[in-house]
Chain A
């Protein structure tokens, strides 16, 4: 196996652009997913079974089906339904957000339910409403416990964002596939892509472990 460095050099700017889009897609996915996930998680925790059912169903559907299927449906069916055309980047962001929201909803629920019941009771006994108790007492404590699993979800999302290459969103894996198509080479594009993904996920887990250590000592 001899590596053709010249074609790698030629593709370097594309890999760079692709990496930036990969980061952008994952960031958008985790941010939107976190906001949606909070509401879906709270929704699923509602006492009324009829009200909580749709949120539970959402979580079951998105966690129980492959993301590849989800991105295809969203790209070819859902996005055109609203815009009349397809848009790879929009489909990718939408899929990553909706999918991670399902996982993050469960992270929120577990985080909130891990807080001792006495905290809510103490807050309520002081006259706070349920919403105030959630906002000032429960959620701040729960968020701290959610940081490690949220970080994991972010790492998963970076990797899964590679599926966006299949709907022509020009991220990292898209350029890997483009390079393979142009030069009929497999080692150069995919090892490069793998290395870049590895750098992204390793840096993120490094940042996360630092953050966790700092929170633990607080």
Chain B
């Protein structure tokens, strides 16, 4: 489903991703952990080309997105992304936030888009907020809307970049709950997070990144309870 081969990324002279190789199978939930600055966000952003790729290849369902000939906008419709800062469109109502891309990118009618949007809002428990503006929502509600907005494009893959890091602690649960539900439904997910409980509960695999490299990769139980690398041990002793 996702195949990352020898991915390298530098910002000028700063080499941020050194040589990343990852395969994500359909319906798999991969959790990425690692210290701040280790390149987790950059890795995620390379998967939908929000960052240009310096070297290597990324295949999404067999399509090489680094190939200039592939239609990146089309690929992006298959890959949803949820950001730490939500990035809702503040000038649009909640329902309009969700309807916009399906209407403009997929040429869905307003009626259909609204129907689908309300369905998704129900799914994330925010149907009553459809006609409000994002500013009036709490952080947890904003993030749930952002998830609904990404789902409206019916992506096959969802990327989450620290979706709960900007939230007050009491709101983390409601967002994780939505993500767990999504995982249960079989969504293919790559999740950067510090929520180790989430990783254990729904993660099929955990990747530990440090210094632009994948240091260790294993099932959650193995990686958390029996880390092989000293760097992994050091990191886990700090966050667990």
Chain A contacts to B: CB under 8 angstroms: 116, 118-119, 121-129, 132, 136-137, 140-141, 144
Contact = CB atoms under 8 A, between A and B. Distances in A.
Given A118-B85, A119-B87, A126 B105 contact: yes
Given A127-B74, A127-B101, A128-B101, A122 B89 contact: yes
B198 interface: no
B90 interface: yes
B216 to A, nearest CB: 29
A131 B140 CA distance: 30
Contacts of A136: 100, 104
Given A124-B76, A127-B76, A141-B90, 14 more contacts: A116-B85, A118-B83, A119-B89, A122-B81, A123-B101, A125-B48, A126-B101, A127-B74, A127-B153, A128-B73, A128-B104, A129-B73, A137-B89, A144-B91
A201 to B, nearest CB: 30
A116 B74 CA distance: 24
Contacts of B80: 125-126
Contacts of B79: 125
Choose among A118, A123, A137, A140 the residue with the greatest number of B CB atoms under 10 Å from its CB. A137
B150 interface: yes
B13 interface: no
Contact of A132 (B81, B104, B150): B104
A126 B83 contact: no
Given A126-B76, A128-B104, A121 B50 contact: yes
B149 interface: yes
Given A126-B153, A129-B73, A121 B87 contact: yes
A141 B146 CA distance: 18
Specify the main secondary structure of chain B where it touches its partner: mixed
6 contacts: A122-B88, A123-B101, A126-B80, A126-B101, A132-B105, A137-B89
A141 B100 CA distance: 15
A124 B83 contact: no
A82 to B, nearest CB: 41
Contacts of A141: 89-91
A162 to B, nearest CB: 38
B164 interface: no
Interface in B95-151: 100-101, 104-105, 146, 149-150
B53 to A, nearest CB: 15
B77 interface: yes
Number of contact residues on B: which range applies? 20 to 34
Nearest to B48: A125
Nearest to A121: B50
A129 B48 CA distance: 13
Contacts of B76: 124-127
Contact of A121 (B83, B88, B101, B146): B83
A136 B146 CA distance: 17
B150 A140 contact: no
B127 to A, nearest CB: 21
B152 to A, nearest CB: 8
Contact of A126 (B77, B90, B91): B77
Contacts of B146: 122
Contacts of A119: 87, 89
A123 B90 CA distance: 12
A71 B85 CA distance: 49
A124 to B, nearest CB: 7
Given A121-B83, A125-B48, A140 B91 contact: yes
A126 B149 contact: yes
Interface in B10-58: 48, 50
Contacts of A125: 48, 50, 76, 79-81, 150
A175 B149 CA distance: 60
Contacts of B48: 125
Nearest to B101: A126
A128 B103 CA distance: 10
A118 B91 contact: no
